[in-house]
Amino acid sequence: NYAGVVAATRIFPHALQVGVFDTGYHRTIPEHAYNYPLPRTLAAKYRRYGFHGTSHKYVVEQAAQFLGKEKINAISFHLGNGCSVACIKENECIDTTMGYTPLAGL
Phi, psi of 64 (to 5 degrees): -60, -45
Specify the DSSP class assigned to residue 47: B
The residue annotated as part of the active site, out of 2, 14, 16, 22, is 22
Cβ atoms 90, 74 nearer than 8 A: no
> Using alpha carbons only, what angle is made at residue 45 by residues 44 and 49, rounded to the nearest 5 degrees?
95
* Residue 22 a catalytic site member: yes
Report d(CA 96, CA 49) in Å as an integer: 9
Which sequence positions are flagged as catalytic? 22
